[in-house]
Amino acid sequence: MSGVFPPGLPRLESAGLGSWMVRLFDAIDEANMPWLTALVRDCEKAFGDQLVDLVPSYTTLLVTFDPLRLSPGEARKRLIERLQWLQPDEEPADAPVKELPVWYDPAVGPELSRLAELAGMGLEEVVACHSERTYRVFALGFAPGFAFMGSVDARLEAPRLATPRRRVPAGSVAVTGQQTAAYPAVTPGGWNLIGRTPAVLFDRDREGFSLFQVGDRVRFVPIDRAEFERRGGNTRPMEEER
């Protein structure tokens, strides 16, 4: 295991009654993810129904258990044991990639031109640049099913909006810094909107609920307006959404 993790890691940190924070890495890296997804599965096995919640995120895994049924000391022991034998999930070159259809258009992606301007590119180039890559889901948070994905091409890096929007339409595809995401529901938001997906990202009636999970590989696939509409996308432009 030595050599994989930075000095002093992995480490267990106190995170409140009935929780341990497992710190594995100290920087954001796609190569972290197979270790995190493997540890998630290991913890499910090690804790069984004493487990309350697991929150993997970029470099860490928050493990929450029922302290009435499992003492913090015993939980710590089990985690150390699992960490000693931890092996990353195998990642074949042909590992499945989830495809997210996106209608990239200024009508639903008002910052598309801002990004083009910042990058010195045409709109089509921005779309190509964003949709060529395969991204990794580093974390879910902010809202149910909101997946933080990276890493975006350095040429598309743009800061957050100075004033966040009060209502970002559901399905909006956005970038900020080196991250990209799609908004599962109408929420406030300060990311740069570049398009919209007709896909339902979070569905309470669907098995697994969220389209994306931590560790997933994702590709954005450009579609045109007709296809977007055919798939039930909401074509209302931003101005009318406010």
Residue 63 near residue 166, CB atoms below 8 Å:
no
Q: What are phi and psi of 45, to 5 degrees?
A: -70, -45
The one among 4, 9, 21, 119 contacting another protein by CB under 8 A: 21
Rank residues 107 and 185 by Cβ distance to another protein and give the closer one: 185
Identify the helix (H) or strand (E) that includes residue 119: helix 112-119
Task: Kindly state the greatest CA–CA separation across the chain.
Answer: 59
Question: Pick from 50, 57, 113, 134: which binds another protein (CB under 8 A)?
Answer: 57
Is there binding between residue 144 and another protein (CB under 8 A)?
yes
Closest distance to another protein from the beta carbon of 218 (Å): 15
Q: Are 105 and 112 in contact (CB under 8 A)?
A: yes
56 binds another protein (CB under 8 A): yes
Kindly tell me the burial class for residue 215, based on how many C-beta atoms sit within 10 Å of its own C-beta (0-12, 13-18, 19 or more): buried
60 binds another protein (CB under 8 A): yes
Q: Which of 30, 34, 70, 72 binds another protein (CB under 8 A)?
A: 72
Site string for another protein, 74-113 (x = CB under 8 A): ----------------------------------------
What phi and psi values does residue 37 have, to the nearest 5 degrees? -65, -35
Distance CA 209, CA 68 (A): 29
Rounded least distance, CB 60 to another protein, Å: 4
27 binds another protein (CB under 8 A): yes
Q: Compute how many other C-beta atoms are within 10 angstroms of the C-beta atom of residue 17.
A: 8
- Extract the tokens encoding 121: 């590119």
Shortest separation between residue 220's beta carbon and another protein, angstroms: 20
Amino acid at 180: T
Binding site for another protein (CB under 8 A): 13-17, 19, 21, 23, 27-28, 40, 52-62, 64, 67-68, 71-72, 139-146, 148, 185, 202, 204, 209-210, 213-214
